Amino acid sequence: MALSSIERQSSLDALRGFALLGILVVNIVAFATPYYGTGVPDPMAQSRVSHAVMVGIALLFEWKFYLLFSFLFGYSFTLQMQSAERDGKAFVPRMLRRLIGLWVLGLLHGVLLFHGDILTTYAVMGAVLLTLRSRAEKALAKLAVGLIVGTATVWAIIGVLSVLDVDAARDSKALAQITSALTAFRSTPWGVIAQHVQELKGVWVVTALMQAPTALAMFLMGCIAGRRGLFSASSPTAGTSKLYKQCLIAGACVGLPAAVAYAYGTTRLAGTPWDLLGLSLSLLTAPLLTAAYIGGMQLLFRSRWGQWWLGVLAPAGRMALSNYLMQSLVCSVIFLAYGFRMMGRVSPLDTLLIAVAIFAVQTVISRWWLGRFAYGPVEWLLRAVTHWRFSSLRVGRAGRGELAG
């Protein structure tokens, strides 16, 4: 079943909503346990069910959904550039204001709510994308591939070198850091903020070596897709069922097996060189699994059953930035000293169920909100910074998800 132009725009918003769910499933684990990503076994994740949940998250969610958001950021970047050209407005000053606003939001988010913030990375890499906006598609594609291959190679080298540098006291050092972090996150709001500031230093280093280059690569691929009007009904190069099926096949044949290897490494061989080598393989192939998600969801949206999902996911995607920040706020209240201090006390299965519940509520709230207002609250604020003027918040014309560009 073909999609109308309105449905195609809704499918773009729905992809954002789908990505929002994936981001939450990954991020909430970092709120729920200080053991996440340390290589030290989590006492709350020792049962078979808990292990299966963590394997599933590693297999299907980790390193895939921030890439999907990144692709959509690049796609929307191109749409905004085209919109500025049609309106006769200078694009660069407008986008720079937007990126500065996004960076400030990200910094506040990282300090107050979640040290794993992605907005600051998007802002900085968005500035890089701004300098590359006039490059030919072939040059952008080569750079994107180079960034992905280069990042994967760096982490493969780190994995090999770690074999030569075995630290017998690594686990005890990591456990001491975990205990310190858990105490801080359960202490007071000021203790939470201090811990975030402390962890941001390390997070930014890892981000520079991992998420930043791969996010930029997907920005570039999204930019190419935007130029070609992948989700535009009026474009002769718009996505077809054949293209989306090819994405599914590539993801199933290459991306999925690599994701299995990564999931095994990060759950069974955590803290070993094999863990890092699995990460390298995942960084190399995760874009293919992300492409499979795009293709699969677009095919789903063309089915009768998929129309229901389109209606559920699109409102959440239209206010993706507000929902992303709200997810962190809710998780902070549940798990940190801002509220119930449940960090380290919830099993992986219960954590996953909490994530699903949060997102389900967000879909309802998003639909209610957008029935009355044109933009999400944070989208409206960022739009004001971008255009340097306040627009009416009341329903007049539809807004689109600001997180994705």
The predicted-structure confidence for 241-256, as pLDDT tens digits, reads as follows: 889 999 999 999 999 9
Predicted confidence band of residue 399 (pLDDT cuts 50, 70, 90): very low
User: Is residue 313 in some structural domain?
Assistant: yes
Across the range 60-64, mean pLDDT stands at 96
- Collapsed DSSP state (helix, strand, coil) of residue 394: strand
Q: 86 versus 217: which is more confidently predicted? A: 217
Domain with 349, as residue range(s), is 5-387
Predicted confidence band of residue 9 (pLDDT cuts 50, 70, 90): confident
Q: Please give the pLDDT value at position 240.
A: 81
Q: At what angle do helices 320-335 and 304-318 cross, to 10 degrees?
A: 80
Q: 188 versus 160: which is more confidently predicted? A: 188
Distance of CA 173 to the CA centre of its chain: 30
Q: Please give the pLDDT value at position 45.
A: 94
User: Is residue 112 in some structural domain?
Assistant: yes
Per the structure, the count of domains in the chain is 1
User: Is residue 103 in some structural domain?
Assistant: yes
> What is the 3-state composition of the chain as percent helix, strand, coil, each rounded to the nearest 5?
75, 0, 25
> What tokens were used for 116?
């794993």
pLDDT averaged over the chain? 92
User: Is residue 110 in some structural domain?
Assistant: yes
pLDDT at 219 over 60: yes
User: Is residue 264 in some structural domain?
Assistant: yes
Q: Where are the alpha helices (DSSP H) in 61-136?
A: 65-87, 91-112, 119-131
Q: Please give the pLDDT value at position 169.
A: 64
pLDDT at 61 over 50: yes
Length of the chain: 405
Q: What is the tens place of the pLDDT at every residue in 118-175?
A: 999 999 999 999 999 999 999 999 999 999 999 999 999 998 888 777 665 677 889 9
Across the range 367-380, mean pLDDT stands at 97
User: Is residue 199 in some structural domain?
Assistant: yes
Cα–Cα distance, 308 to 398 (Å, whole number): 20
pTM assigned to the model: 0.94
Q: 218 versus 5: which is more confidently predicted? A: 218
CA–CA–CA angle 11, 14, 19 (5° rounding): 130
Report which of 98, 95, 145 is spatially closest to residue 119, judged by C-alpha positions: 98
Q: Please give the pLDDT value at position 59.
A: 97
Q: What is the tens place of the pLDDT at every residue in 262-293?
A: 999 999 888 788 889 999 999 999 999 999 99
Q: Please give the pLDDT value at position 168.
A: 56
User: Is residue 47 in some structural domain?
Assistant: yes
User: Is residue 395 in some structural domain?
Assistant: no
Percent pLDDT > 70 in the chain is: 93
